[in-house]
Structure 1
Amino acid sequence: MKLKNLDLNLFVTFDAVYTHRNLTLAASALNVTQPAVSNSLARLRDRFNDPLFVHAGRKMNPTPLAQKMIGPTRQALRLLQAGIEEEDKFNPQTSDKVVRIGIGDIGETILLPKLVERLHRFAPLMKVQAFHVPRRSIAKKLALGEIDFAVDIPLPPNPELQNRLLMSDKQVCVVGPSHPLAKKSSLSLEAYLALSHILVSSRQRGSGAVDIELGNLGPTRNIMVRFQHYQAAFHLVQRTDLALTAPLQLTRMYNCHVFSLPLAVPNLDFYLYWHKSTAQAKTTLWLRDLILEAVA
């Protein structure tokens, strides 16, 4: 038997009948009519192929199956009720929630320090866990509650997800402080193409946004190194004559020389995603606003 095919409200009725051993008393406790209780009990009996309760005078005694079911049923109902009450009583100052975020290299570097700083101030007991989540798995993990939020570039439209633009950052070219071009104020397309480049991508293959734009123009750049993370790329820039194209906000964290790109490249847009089933939860609303404020 699969729970997705069963109305979970029936277990509330089951618990009431087990407690009162009488349909009339169970109906009164649930504030419904006796026929409604009888109907729910009939549906459960049909599902489990068991009478669940048998009449003994004015009382209804549970069958062996009902006796086995009552413990797990009450435990599940208590957990559900506790979750509802916890949400109703949400207080950032006392909440010890673990906030799980699916996030990549750029978001982790730019966003998470600001978020953790604010959490320490406004929700000192909350904890943060960050994960790399493959783009194709984000919707599923949000639906299953394995993560609370995701930060990523624009995803394909999904009616199950809600989102807000988190940040939009332009891309620039950087070289190390001792690079031969480090004293120049601008960079021509010819000079850009003459450089040896580092490409940062979480994928094993494929080009970046710059290469797509260059492909439209015709020329290609010389990519010497492919990394997964910008931190390693910036460290390499500082020690070699390699160039790196990166979001502007990241460049402020490193000792490097910054050039505007000599070609039009779209900004890097990052969105905050959450599942629609949690959209009105007090915890989600509070955390969402805190994250948006962190990067404002």
Structure 2
Amino acid sequence: MHISRTDLNLFVVLDAIYSQGNITRASQTLNLSQPALSHALARLRAMFDDPLFVRQGVSMVPTPFTRGIITQVRQGLQLFEASLQTEQSFNPGQTQRSFHLGLRDVFEATILPPLLQRISEQAPGISIASVRVDRREIESALSSGNLDMVLEVPIPLTGNIRQQRVSRDRLIVLSRKGHPQMPKKKSLPLELSTYLQQRHVLVSSRRQGMGLEDFELNREGLRRQISLRCQHYFAACRVVSETDLLLTMPEQYASIANAQFMNRIDSFPLATQPIDAHLYWHVSAENDPANAWLREQLIELMQRR
């Protein structure tokens, strides 16, 4: 099979069906009729001598062959699109593009409001989908094109993933107003011994394992008592406001999650390394003007906080 005899638009169809998992949604995404899309799929099947997708109800489930080639197909499409756009003057106001960002709830609450405000003013044709991604799957999600960018703590990745530090935070401790064990004067620091004597909330999406604060305590041979493990900081802030439990969390997110509860804020009673956040993207998107524009907005907004 030579590329000169191949209709490259067929690969756009392949990517759309894979992404949408449904013929109707894929045809709507590409602004094609369903018969036209089905005809393109038939040509793809003949070209690869593989079913490519198996219908299950209304869903189109990719075959192992399709799952094996989709990463290379998406990287090729991204590089091709970037090369075309490089020859044109990029205008955010005229761009029609959807971006998928890997964000935890901490970043959703802090970065999405100012980002969407800026997009509505400068690039109204851009839409954002925020999804949660397991740290172990970040590289594969970026490589396959399932995600365009990810905001996360520093993690080891290969040279195919570009990254830049975008913010630095610190740990603070929340307690309810009038907590009987907290220092009576706000000017007095929270002592480490007092912190360890209390019961705590740990926020984590995992069923087990330690939080960042526990790793810091363990380095000193210390351990705290976890009475509640929950998934979201907002819920934890409310629990703290109505109990004697303490919550340790990043300071920047506390300004949002704790706003309506007005819990007391103290510094974490142990010297720790700053909490860095990095922006990650795949090398194939490095020179894509739209991707680069969105990266610039994210970096600027994160560094303003």
Q: TM-score, normalised by structure 1?
A: 0.70
- Is residue 2:116 matched to residue 1:116? yes
Equivalent positions of 1:73-112 (< 5 A) are 85=84, 88=88, 90-112=90-112
Amino acid in the other structure paired with 1:232: A
Report what 1:184 is aligned to.
Answer: 185
* Alpha-carbon distance, 1:125 to partner: 2.5
Equivalent positions of 1:33-48 (< 5 A) are none
Report what 2:197 is aligned to.
Answer: 194
Rounded to whole Å, the distance in 2 between the matches of 1:192 and 1:82 is 54
- Is residue 2:247 matched to residue 1:240? no
* Alpha-carbon distance, 1:204 to partner: 1.6
* Alpha-carbon distance, 1:84 to partner: 5.8
Aligned residues between the structures: 228
In the alignment, is the contact (CA less than 8 A) between 1:199 and 1:223 conserved in 2? yes
- Indicate how the Cα distance of structure 1 residues 263 and 7 shifts in structure 2: closer, same or farther if over 3 A, else same: farther
Deviations 1:131-187 (A, max 9, x none): 001111111111111111011111113111001101110001111224232743310
Rounded to whole Å, the distance in 1 between the matches of 2:78 and 2:159 is 29
- Is residue 2:266 matched to residue 1:259? yes
Amino acid in the other structure paired with 1:283: A
* Alpha-carbon distance, 1:256 to partner: 1.6
Rounded to whole Å, the distance in 1 between the matches of 2:145 and 2:227 is 40
- Pick the aligned partner of 1:291 from 295, 298, 301: 298
In the alignment, is the contact (CA less than 8 A) between 2:175 and 2:245 conserved in 1? yes
In the alignment, is the contact (CA less than 8 A) between 1:233 and 1:244 conserved in 2? yes
Deviations 1:8-35 (A, max 9, x none): 35638xxxxxxxxxxxxxxxxxxxxxxx
Report what 2:223 is aligned to.
Answer: 220
Rounded to whole Å, the distance in 2 between the matches of 1:82 and 1:160 is 18
Rounded to whole Å, the distance in 2 between the matches of 1:157 and 1:207 is 22
RMSD: 2.6
Q: Once the two structures are aligned, what percentage of the paired residues are identical?
A: 32
* Alpha-carbon distance, 1:189 to partner: 0.6
Q: Equivalent residue of 1:252, what SS?
A: helix
In the alignment, is the contact (CA less than 8 A) between 1:175 and 1:182 conserved in 2? no
- Indicate how the Cα distance of structure 1 residues 280 and 83 shifts in structure 2: closer, same or farther if over 3 A, else same: closer
Report what 1:69 is aligned to.
Answer: none
Unaligned segments of structure 1, at least 5 residues: 1-5, 13-47, 49-77
Amino acid in the other structure paired with 1:188: E
Report what 2:155 is aligned to.
Answer: 155
Rounded to whole Å, the distance in 1 between the matches of 2:287 and 2:153 is 24
* Alpha-carbon distance, 1:191 to partner: 0.5
- Is residue 2:274 matched to residue 1:273? no
Amino acid in the other structure paired with 2:223: T
In the alignment, is the contact (CA less than 8 A) between 2:177 and 2:241 conserved in 1? yes
Amino acid in the other structure paired with 1:249: Q
Deviations 1:251-290 (A, max 9, x none): 2122121111111222221100000011011011111101
In the alignment, is the contact (CA less than 8 A) between 2:168 and 2:276 conserved in 1? yes
Amino acid in the other structure paired with 1:184: K
Amino acid in the other structure paired with 2:132: H
Deviations 1:182-231 (A, max 9, x none): 74331001100011111111222111122122222223111111112211
Report what 1:42 is aligned to.
Answer: none
Unaligned segments of structure 2, at least 5 residues: 8-46, 48-76
In the alignment, is the contact (CA less than 8 A) between 2:138 and 2:150 conserved in 1? yes
In the alignment, is the contact (CA less than 8 A) between 2:139 and 2:157 conserved in 1? no
- Pick the aligned partner of 1:231 from 229, 234, 243: 234
Q: TM-score, normalised by structure 2?
A: 0.68
Rounded to whole Å, the distance in 2 between the matches of 1:177 and 1:221 is 21
Rounded to whole Å, the distance in 1 between the matches of 2:243 and 2:99 is 39
Amino acid in the other structure paired with 2:264: H
Report what 2:206 is aligned to.
Answer: 203
Q: Equivalent residue of 1:136, what SS?
A: helix
Rounded to whole Å, the distance in 1 between the matches of 2:233 and 2:93 is 34
Rounded to whole Å, the distance in 2 between the matches of 1:204 and 1:251 is 23
Amino acid in the other structure paired with 2:128: V
Q: Equivalent residue of 2:92, what SS?
A: coil
- Indicate how the Cα distance of structure 1 residues 9 and 177 shifts in structure 2: closer, same or farther if over 3 A, else same: farther
Report what 2:174 is aligned to.
Answer: 174
